[in-house]
Structure 1
Amino acid sequence: MACSKIDVEENKQSSSKHLIVAAIDFGTTYTGFAYSFKSDPKQFMTSKWTGENVRTATEKAPTCVLLSPDKSFIAFGYEAEEKYKELLEEDIESGETSHAEEYFYFERFKMKLYQTKNLKLDTKISDVQGKELPALYVFTVVINHIKENVYEQIKKTFSGFNEDSDIQWILTVPAIWSDSAKQFMRKAANEAGLGNVRLVLEPEAASLYCYEENVCKIAKADGSIVIDKFPEGMKYIVADLGGGTADLSVHEILSDRNLREIYRADGDAFGGMMVDLEFLKFFEDIFGSNVIRLFSKRYHNLLMDIQLAFETKKRTFDSDLTKIRLPISELNEVINEIEGQDVATMIEKASKISGFESLILKSDKLCFGRSIIEGCFENAIEGIIKLINKITENDELGGINNLLLVGGFSESGYVQKNIEKKIMGVKVIIPLEPSLAVLKGAVTAGHNPKAITERIARYTYGFSFARPFKNGEDPEELKVVRNGKDYCTSVFDKKITKGDVLKVGDHFGTPCAHTLDNTGILQFLMKMFPLFADVYRSDKKDPKYTGEKYKCELVGMVMIPPPPSGWPSLSILIQELVVGEAEFTVRAINLNTMTCTEGQLDFLHSISRH
């Protein structure tokens, strides 16, 4: 049960004292920042990224970073792509392959946080050559670079601000991310020097932007289409289709113009990157995986050119014939070395495969028909449609058919058409800038932290405890003997149930007693030792026991520090999970002294009990 609600005005006041709200949208494929001043919150300033081969500056840059052999920062975004390609080209010209290999080039590494089940602070990620570095270091370096870019851009128009106290930082995270991934991003932000940082869920940020601004095409009752705000009482699905994931929530516009979530966040790895991986598999089907592996190792710069060409075709795909320029000479070299053949022969052979009949080589261009590109999109689109249908077919929601599409992948006309075609009765709403909705909405959330009033718990949460063993009911494997009595360990103490409505400031507690051993030296040591409690999570609504066998996994640990004078011989405490905007926090209320102590909630298994 929830205790009385904590007043969240403190959070609102904390946000209001800042002169600037700056948001970072750290994406899987593209990253950018935006900010606005408290005096004019809707006047958004966005990042401008350039490169030698970029004709017009863009609001977002590719999420890639180049580090030197000693792991220091060299470049990010377009500049990182260009410098790394130059290193590879220099190696090719000199006949050496060792120089570029000494550098670290990471791209699209955000997905590692979603894919890693047991994420920890020391988790490592691999660069394009397979060399590893701590993920925390790589994320921190990138966030620090973006921070410096924000400072530089602000100083061009406003030089008198205090970097430490005048900026409220916002970092966006997918709603479907684990608690550990969210905590990891907060840790990286703190390591990068973002002191005042709040996490905002990406679908919520996009939703805030779209309902507050006149940026969406809304269908009126008379059938007309207008650019307007969302009306009061409107319920809609927000689908954030990014490079890595499809992240879905269901929101409702309240009478006070705030939002509430009415269906728990759902999603999976059905972003635009899935299309890119299918295209790479298509190349492997033509030339063989061994050829592509060696080609990538020897001519990674040329593979990057092919991937970039496909990225351009993917965004605007709507033609019956697609052409991709191939580096014939270099491909022939690798194919001859592996297969003893050439490009033309292998393409001709592949054209005999069912579904590949349209394949043809014209000069240095690989040409193929519409069905092959459609095949690259198929798994991602089908995955997205299944997620949307799961919501639209939920009778408890009353048949919601408004669908707000945001995120870079949603800009694809092919994706939009397939959703409208395959989901009966859906009304697709697209903002004027789908790829910037999350970024600008995060700034909006920074100025108005109370805009999202309710959320739905994605999981069941609780603690673990021991109680007298119940014969014939409790599993024998959980029986232990203490002081001559049988106890059942690992009993789940539920605090939050999957599907519960959660409000910021709600807190869920469990009473516990802490006693000190009367032995002199041991009592002295334990008096200053913190208390620990394990936090468990389940996809089930009512698990009875904790542990993998019972589908109730250990996800974190609570650490409660002792009072300044140490623990008394008997302490009666209430340990609580506290609901935040995007994360949980913990605290302990000492009923002996009626004092409240903030604890640490460790989802990254970084705190030692010893």
Structure 2
Amino acid sequence: MVEWGWKSKLLMESPAASKYTQLYQYKPYLDENVAMTPWREKVSVANAISDYLRALHEYAADKILQEFGRSYSRNSFRYCLTVPAMWSDKAKDVMRKAAIRAGLITAFDHPDRLTLVSEPEAAALYCEKACKQYDLGHGDRFMICDAGGGTVDLIVYEISSTSQGRRLSEVTKGHGATCGSMFIDLNFGNLLIKKFESQDAKIPKNIIPAMVDTFAYNHKPQFGEDDELYLALPRNSFFDDIKDPKSIGIDGGFMSLKESELKKVVFEPVVKQVLTLIQEQLNNAKQCSAIFMVGGFGSSNYLLKRVKQEFGSVVNTISAPNRPELAVVCGAVYAGLNPKMVTARITRLCYGTDAGMNFEEGIDPERLKLRKSSGPLCTGRFSTFVRKGQKVQVNECVTKLYSFTKNKHGTSTYSTGIFAIDGDPPRYIDDVGVSELAKISISDPFTPSDQIGHKVSVEMKMYFGLNEIRTEIFVQGTKYIKQLKFDDRDY
């Protein structure tokens, strides 16, 4: 990496631009549910994220140390990274590893030194501070619609007044879609391409990005207030060669576009997706007193107006709090200072592990039958930890007891798989829809004097109420805090 942030844009506008490749909009590639064009760059997505985090961290840390001097050292920093609510456990793991490669923390630090928080949850902590001015109290529910550049995440929380202060708990399973404001920009760019191609114009590669940037920063947030948009054109001889500029709205260094055209082609295809997501959350929540629009796209006047049109009759308060574009980052600070503000979360998937259970004749297939002196076992059964949609307290622990048997191959590590399904618990781990999410591995628990066949009892404690799955393994009284091992070769 030679440059990052706004300086990378300046570099791509210089005569040396042909020597470099500018990477952008690569975060959505971590979402396994989004259909993206194949990633063909030489640097992997995970390494691109690491490089960016390293540069951002160096910049931020230097600024903090300049401000506070010797009062702080980097070793005392605690980090909170926000991620989309719809990201998988695997995507979160990629982000954690990227942060380690970027030098924010080390692989040997306690996991709590880096906290991953969903973006709508961070926004909820920010909006909770504003709840009093909206007359929201104990038992009231509010929705966060975090509309950002790439994703739109939504979730509903319920307020509880406790002896320790106000607390939040999830009411609905957070969900969302990749339908953020970058897709408005893409729609706008495609509209410009269509107009220029109607003039048989050969478009220079930097023209569309420059015009989209002007639209995104100067016009998109206020769209909907005027009947017509006048876009300042970048200086380029390209516009002098257009056959009939007035036919596509170009005159005097500006390009005019009708509001009706922009609504139909640019905004509404994206806005309608957001409205559908909000309706789904309202259906699941049953009762909701307020909707808070946050994020960069959440500050859009047009989006806020459309949400009020659709849902103003069923939700009393629909508002964008002060500085909605800062809600997520400010809320992340609150999450870092008070990790126990959210007391319960809704599980996104059904989780379980591989287990041997009593074999049931006529039900279980013979291929899974394992004969034991105590009676036949059925291998490959799905042993459920938690069900999808289950409300789990943050400190709630699911405990399973297992045993490892020493084998003659001298295995140096012993592992068990964690399986997941987006639905009800299956009977077997190889049923349709079940995937192996990750593995939990421990070092060889046996001593050289242990005989082949010797068993060691293992106690596994799983925590699903956190933003990341956490595992504690107890082997003969020794406690290990283990990170799940994901297969992240795709990134």
TM-score normalised by length of structure 2: 0.86
User: Relative to structure 1, is the Cα distance of residues 473 and 418 closer, same or farther in structure 2, using a 3 angstrom cutoff?
Assistant: same
1:344 to 211, 219, 244: 244
User: Relative to structure 1, is the Cα distance of residues 389 and 140 closer, same or farther in structure 2, using a 3 angstrom cutoff?
Assistant: same
Q: 1:201 aligned to 2:128?
A: no
Q: After TM superposition, give the deviation of residue 563 of structure 1 in Å.
A: 3.6
User: Relative to structure 1, is the Cα distance of residues 308 and 117 closer, same or farther in structure 2, using a 3 angstrom cutoff?
Assistant: closer
Partner of 2:471: 586
Paired residues for 1:109-148 under 5 Å: 109-115=26-32, 126=39, 131-148=41-58
Q: Distance in 1 between matches of 2:49 and 2:80?
A: 15
Partner of 2:297: 409
Q: Distance in 2 between matches of 1:166 and 1:271?
A: 35
Q: Distance in 2 between matches of 1:150 and 1:564?
A: 46
Q: Distance in 1 between matches of 2:273 and 2:314?
A: 19
Paired residues for 1:204-353 under 5 Å: 204-212=121-129, 215=130, 218-219=133-134, 230-256=136-162, 257-288=166-197, 295=203, 299-311=204-216, 312-318=218-224, 319-326=226-233, 329-330=237-238, 342-344=242-244, 348=247
Q: After TM superposition, give the deviation of residue 595 of structure 1 in Å.
A: 2.9
Partner of 1:63: none
2:67 to 148, 154, 157: 157
2:13 to 72, 81, 85: 85
User: Relative to structure 1, is the Cα distance of residues 261 and 482 closer, same or farther in structure 2, using a 3 angstrom cutoff?
Assistant: closer
SS at match of 2:143: strand
1:541 to 406, 424, 448: 424
Q: Deviations over 1:74-108 (max 9, x none)?
A: 3222222112212xxx2xxxxxxxx5333131112
Q: Distance in 2 between matches of 1:507 and 1:244?
A: 34
Higher fraction of strand: 1
Paired residues for 1:455-604 under 5 Å: 455-467=345-357, 470=360, 472-474=362-364, 479-480=367-368, 482=370, 489-517=379-407, 519=408, 522=409, 525-526=410-411, 529-547=412-430, 550-563=432-445, 565=447, 568=450, 569-579=454-464, 581-590=466-475, 593-604=476-487
Q: Distance in 1 between matches of 2:263 and 2:38?
A: 31
2:330 to 437, 440, 447: 440
Q: 1:451 aligned to 2:336?
A: no
Q: Distance in 2 between matches of 1:237 and 1:142?
A: 31
- Paired amino acid for 2:440: V
Q: Deviations over 1:233-260 (max 9, x none)?
A: 3211111111111111111121121211
User: Relative to structure 1, is the Cα distance of residues 313 and 479 closer, same or farther in structure 2, using a 3 angstrom cutoff?
Assistant: same
User: Relative to structure 1, is the Cα distance of residues 234 and 572 closer, same or farther in structure 2, using a 3 angstrom cutoff?
Assistant: same
Q: Distance in 1 between matches of 2:55 and 2:397?
A: 37
User: Relative to structure 1, is the Cα distance of residues 178 and 137 closer, same or farther in structure 2, using a 3 angstrom cutoff?
Assistant: same
SS at match of 1:249: strand
SS at match of 2:79: strand
SS at match of 1:550: coil
Q: Deviations over 1:466-519 (max 9, x none)?
A: 556655534x6x8346569987554321111112122223222332222123x5
Q: Distance in 1 between matches of 2:442 and 2:394?
A: 21
Percent identity over paired residues: 26
Q: After TM superposition, give the deviation of residue 150 of structure 1 in Å.
A: 1.9
SS at match of 1:532: strand
Q: Does the CA-based 8 Å contact 1:574-1:589 persist in structure 2?
A: yes
State the superposition RMSD in angstroms: 3.1
Partner of 1:367: 256
User: Relative to structure 1, is the Cα distance of residues 564 and 490 closer, same or farther in structure 2, using a 3 angstrom cutoff?
Assistant: closer
Q: Distance in 2 between matches of 1:83 and 1:154?
A: 27
Q: Distance in 2 between matches of 1:170 and 1:135?
A: 21
Which runs of no fewer than 5 residues in structure 2 stay unpaired? 106-112
User: Relative to structure 1, is the Cα distance of residues 389 and 218 closer, same or farther in structure 2, using a 3 angstrom cutoff?
Assistant: farther
Q: Distance in 2 between matches of 1:479 and 1:118?
A: 37
Q: Does the CA-based 8 Å contact 2:65-2:72 persist in structure 1?
A: no
- Identify which range, 452-461 or 313-322, moves more after superposition: 313-322
Q: Distance in 1 between matches of 2:88 and 2:230?
A: 40
